[in-house]
Amino acid sequence: MMTATAALPHRLDRTVTIQAVPETVFRFFTDSERWAKWWGAGSTVDAKPGGDLYILHPGGIESRGQVLEVDPPKRFVFSYGFVSGQPIPIGSSRVSIVLEPQPEGTRLKLTHELSNAIARDEHVQGWRFQLSLFANIVADEVTANAPRYIDMWFDAWAEPDVIARQKMLGEVVVPEVRMQDRYSNLDGLDDLMPHISASQRFMPGLRMRRAGDVRHCQGMVLADWTVSGLDGKQRGSGTNVFVFGPTGRIERVTGFWGPPPPA
């Protein structure tokens, strides 16, 4: 049974911002496959009041609890403790998670209520780590289309047909997309479109392509690229930083040119 509220006088609070809408974040509390992506393979959750949850930590440490409240996509509450009884026994603490929509995604507020200060202090770094890990796992799902979207971004710079280019970019970027490099400081798709046309006019025949796999972290994606001429020879290379928004589309691009190719 869950310990009464009056017996849980010690609490820790932690707030993080996740680049995903609340509906996406909440799925990780109601789906065992996603729950396991956060906590570890073998972890499960039965997302209804009274449902069991199980966490298999690295190293084989086990935690169990019971779902107390489910209010999608706003609030998820569960009891929490370790199977071994250390540092807190099963059912002896309560974790409340509240999600609030923000322009940049979701603000997650976690409160962990415990019976003693020592157990609380032992969980401060644990939640700092676990919520950082959680935010990145959610962001990875949001940016799952990153390789395809980034390839479409590069393809759009070589697309001569304005209507086709608009369609390509409209699928992968937000209308307010911001793009910067040493030769660009643009705000919005309406600014980006004529800039691409100008680049095709003054630098005809150049084509950018992604080089290698993309790298994700907390909604930010790095993509290396090369640029070649009509003769196929490489004329340059660099790295773009793509910031993906909470709906999975590109909000900002910053380009860095690398050193010139060898002669």
Q: What are the tens digits of pLDDT across the range 151-178?
A: 999 999 999 999 999 999 999 999 999 9
CATH number at residue 102: 3.30.530.20
How far apart CA 117 and CA 172 sit, in angstroms, is 48
Pair (170, 138) in one structural domain: no
pLDDT score recorded for residue 195:
97
- End-of-domain residue from the set 111, 142, 173: 142
When pLDDT is cut at 50, 70 and 90, the band that residue 86 belongs to is confident
- End-of-domain residue from the set 93, 122, 142: 142
Pair (250, 157) in one structural domain: yes
For residue 147 the two structure tokens come to 């390789």
Pair (129, 195) in one structural domain: no
Give the pLDDT confidence of 168-221 residue by residue, as tens digits: 999 999 999 999 999 999 999 999 999 999 999 999 999 999 999 999 999 999
Give the pLDDT confidence of 33-71 residue by residue, as tens digits: 999 999 999 999 999 999 999 999 988 889 999 999 999
In a domain, 263, yes or no: no
How far apart CA 187 and CA 32 sit, in angstroms, is 41
Which residues, at least 6 apart from 259, have a Cβ–Cβ distance to it below 8 Å?
Answer: none
- End-of-domain residue from the set 127, 142, 157: 142
φ, ψ for residue 105 (rounded to 5)? 145, -110
Pair (153, 94) in one structural domain: no
In a domain, 168, yes or no: yes
Pair (164, 252) in one structural domain: yes
Q: Between 162-172 and 146-156, two packed helices, what is the crossing angle to 10 degrees?
A: 160
Pair (46, 74) in one structural domain: yes
217, 210, 216: which is closest to 239 by C-alpha? 210
Please say whether the beta carbons of 87 and 114 come within 8 A: no
Cis peptide before 103 (omega within 30 of 0): no
Pair (242, 155) in one structural domain: yes
CATH number at residue 152: 3.10.450.50
177, 134, 127: which is closest to 153 by C-alpha? 177
Average pLDDT over residues 129-142: 97
Strand partners, 14: 110
pLDDT score recorded for residue 261:
61
124, 139, 176: which is closest to 17 by C-alpha? 139
In a domain, 155, yes or no: yes
